[in-house]
Amino acid sequence: MTITLLIPSCKIQIDCPGYPERYLVWMPYVQGEEFSLTDGIDTFQLTVETTDITKAYTIKEYKSLANDCICIANSTITSDFFPRILYNSENIGNYAADFVVSFLTPDYEFPNTVQSFQFQDNNGDKIYTYYPYEHNEILSSYDNGYKTFNDVIKIESDTLLSDMLIYQICIAKRIGIIQFKDRFNHKTWSLID
């Protein structure tokens, strides 16, 4: 009796479309861009240090091992106040994109603590957020004290249930971060330019 073992030896070509532009409205940063946040007294400058967006590409993969394409968008933002803000997104097939905004915080007790806000855009149908930031609102307009912005996601945690340093963030379509609230310094930081 002869047993034949079939091993997949044929690779197929997979055309990956790249990161969808429709989701870049939530992280529209360009490398070298500068903007400022203020609490009304102090102001700090932020610089978009790097941006990386997956363009369309082709891979060859064994047919039985073929996976979905991985398409990401990343921005690294630096400042003299926060050592680093990382803004990342991964496209999830044709139906959604996950976003994570991570603050590397200047926590004196626990230096270089990372605190992240995560949300998911399902092709504009619904925005999901993740624990401990379970409260979110989609606002048609939002005034951050310096300017009114349209199409804003406001994400916050319950300050009684969480001890997160930053407990609220507002992100405007086609603008990016327009405001966040800092529990450690008891300040609200708002975009001014």
Q: What is the DSSP string of 97-139?
A: EEEEEEEEE--SSSTTEEEEEEEEESTTS-EEE-TT--EEEEE
Predicted confidence at residue 106, as pLDDT, reads 60
Predicted confidence at residue 156, as pLDDT, reads 82
Mean pLDDT of 121-149: 77
The 10s digit of each residue's pLDDT in 152-167 is 988 887 665 556 678 8
Taking 90 as the threshold, does the pLDDT of residue 94 lie above it?
A: no
Taking 90 as the threshold, does the pLDDT of residue 170 lie above it?
A: yes
Estimate to the nearest angstrom the gap between the alpha carbon of 172 and the chain centroid: 12
More confident residue, 150 or 10: 150
The 10s digit of each residue's pLDDT in 52-91 is 999 998 888 776 656 667 889 999 998 877 667 888 898 8
Biggest CA-to-CA distance, the chain: 85
In eight-state DSSP terms, residue 64 is G
The 10s digit of each residue's pLDDT in 112-130 is 556 677 777 776 656 666 5
First-residue to last-residue Cα distance in the chain? 77
Predicted confidence at residue 83, as pLDDT, reads 63
Taking 60 as the threshold, does the pLDDT of residue 132 lie above it?
A: no
Cα separation, 189 vs 56, in Å, equals 37
